[in-house]
């Protein structure tokens, strides 16, 4: 049987710990960066469901190893792949490199042209997640 008092105390302790961590992070920020953090917190307060979207997005992580293997199997360099999907230029090549090294997740920002075309190309070449 669940002890509701212990559960409540654990919940309060977790929230206190989280708020203290936020406070410390805020105080360690430069004055120029503090408004950005406050803005992010305002968004969470106004749209708490956005926190769940972040969690769900991370739960279905992009398999960057599989993506890189597909490109290599197709015999393409990053620049060649970018040109093949009509995204010439170093910025597109750099983004694809970040995807294939696990530094960024395609589609983390909605409406990304590079991510959309890259994921389509991967799926056309056997990518499964």
Could you tell me if 74 and 125 are in contact, meaning their C-beta atoms sit under 8 angstroms apart?
A: yes
For 19-33, 54-68, 82-96, which range has the lowest pLDDT when averaged over its residues? 54-68
Cut 0.95: pTM above it: no
Give pLDDT, residue 58.
44
- Which helix (H) or strand (E) element contains residue 56? helix 49-59
Distances (CA, A) of 61 to 58, 92, 104, 112, 128: 5, 21, 10, 17, 12
Could you tell me if 120 and 64 are in contact, meaning their C-beta atoms sit under 8 angstroms apart?
A: no
pLDDT confidence of 52, banded at 50, 70, 90?
A: low
The first and second tokens of residue 39, run together, are 């803005």
């Amino acid at each position: 049987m669940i002890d509701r008092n212990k559960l409540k105390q654990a919940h309060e302790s977790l929230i206190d710990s989280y708020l203290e961590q936020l406070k410390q992070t805020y105080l360690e920020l430069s004055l120029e960066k503090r408004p950005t953090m406050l803005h992010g917190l305002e968004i969470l307060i106004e749209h708490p469901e956005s926190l769940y979207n972040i969690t769900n997005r991370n739960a279905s992580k992009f398999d960057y190893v599989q993506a890189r293997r597909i490109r290599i199997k197709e015999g393409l360099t990053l620049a060649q792949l970018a040109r093949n999907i009509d995204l010439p230029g170093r910025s597109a090549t750099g983004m694809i490199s970040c995807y294939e090294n696990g530094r960024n997740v395609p589609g983390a920002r909605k409406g990304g042209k590079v991510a959309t075309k890259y994921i389509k190309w991967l799926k056309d070449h056997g990518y499964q997640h």
